[in-house]
Chains A and B, each alone.
Chain A
Amino acid sequence: MSNVLAVIELKDGAPRRVANEVVTAARALADALGGEAHALVVGPGGAALESLARHGADAVFDCAHEALADYHAEGYTQAVAGFLDGRDYGAVLFGATGQGKDLAPRVAGRLGLPLATDATALGSESGSVIVTRPVYAGKAIATVAVQATPALVSLRPNVFTPVEDARAGAVHSVPAAVDPGSWRVRRREVLGGSGDRPDVGEAPIVVSGGRGMQDPSNWSLLEDLRDSLGPNASLGASRAVVDAGWRPHSEQVGQTGKTVSPRLYFAVGISGAIQHLAGMRTAGTIVAINKDPDAPIFKVADYGIVGDASEILPRLAEEIRRVSAG
């Protein structure tokens, strides 16, 4: 028997969508390995914990501590490593979010275990965990065998579709093995940003702009399209416009930015350099809008419109609002 642990990420006290993705993947892997799926919540999980059982957790461990209300790298590392101490898991799964990419390698280093990051598929073969992961930002796909127990794996957001598979999923409170006095890193402040939009690397819908937008002042057209697509849509940018200083690097999509896998990706005024195509080619559906009918972006796009973004975008936002309202 080999149990699988899903390390849960919360936002405002509720499991994020990625948390349900990770629990769903843990459920499937636990079934393959012949064990139970467990969920570990670091910080105050509160009323949100039952949604984890609804997505397949046989047991939910609530590892709360007043010092863990906000993410703290050292605190969360202590809490997760402390929880795993003396427990026997076949695999431990994290979301490859900003937080997961900070936490998982620290836990791996502390436990002396290898980590397979950004998995896009999970399987098992004679009891060991097999991970599919993009390399070279998606220019190639590697299949990796994790020869360690537990297998530590982080999962690319938006790839594992959350499935409801309700379990009894009792919640167990467990003490957090943390010592805030030992934490060395101090957070001075948080600057700017309402944080009300997902990071481009995690957003299920991404609206990206490139040089073809002509001027940074035209970004309001992309913002309006994003707004028409709902609160889960975020803005992205090509390297050219980031290098030109039009947009921050945190929005850059591509091999020297973020690799994205949204279910819907709009590439507007982006011709499609190889580094950009690598970073978004695993998107579910790709829409390209470009004046140049020969732009390489049309080769990977599912749907394209040839034409001027400044005419097409307002009409597109309006049409999306119209059908969404209907």
Chain B
Amino acid sequence: MHLAGGRLRDFARGCDALGGGGGGQARYALPLAAHAVELTGPVQVVQPAELPPDGLVMPCTFLGAPAIGAERIGTCREAATIRVHIERHFGKPVVAMLCNEIGGFHGAASVALAAHAGLPMLDADGMGRAFPGMSRVAMHLAGVTPDPVVLADEHDRVVAVHAGDGWAERMARSVVVGFGDRGVSSEYVMTVDQVADAVITGSVGKALRIGELIGEAASVPDAARAIVAEFDGLLIAEGRVTAALPEPGRHTPATIEGTGADSGRTLRLEAGHEYLAVIEDGEVLATVPDIITVFDTYTGEALGAGELRYGQRVVAVALPCPDVWRTPAGLDLVGPAAFGLDLPYRPVAAS
């Protein structure tokens, strides 16, 4: 499997769908990925079994404020710089890049980073969706240490943070502040051996498949039906947004009123940086960490939590999250309570 051309566009669509309203929009990272692939050729997507067991897997992601990233678009060579430092530190070659967060912007951006670093991408990621925060990754649950966190800016300034769990994210963030609120970082570097139990496997292929389903469908609701059928999700409803968030990032509910076959239904959509829960008549239909996705039926785009507006025609679906998030430790980290919701977690069941 490789990523290039039209498959990149499909992949980006799938990343947006897996963002669950968070993680920024993959469509904004798509030009970066397309240009990188034009320079370096297609990015190969590999399985752990294809890699040498003692080779290093390097997670890599952008950090900082979106408004800064829109101006300081960087070189994506930051990933190559970080790779050199990691290889020097560990004394071993890096054999693959790992996408930290498949959902949204970072999923598509990781293709650009991998291409510039000259690495294939592992068919996996750290979240299986999008979450805010550096430690909400499967690697953390598996006990992999984030150290050293290696950060670089677009002028090849590099900082390695050896601060231990709990402090790594704090120190890394203050380094990014020093860079001017924009940088690229790598943490939770692993050997291929370690990867099996420490990442969410199959994420890249899943995003690509979701994007293909969207591209093949005759209409957006058809695409939503195809996606829930293939990934054991729940088609929540078709409807129109009748109340939207006054500000992104706030815990304020949006309302979706059913249309067509769903007429008469009213859904409450709790949202923060991403969609957190869907509630109908006091009954919870889906919550984090399951993935709640709202497609605009006119454009087919997966709407970010900050993009909801009155009057939009939408179709909402919920997809089951990776199993690791459904464990007690996983729910501690990313369950409804971790996002300030006083709701029980009820796993999404296939419709």
User: Are chains A and B native binding partners rather than an unrelated pairing?
Assistant: no
* B contacts, CB < 8 Å to A: none
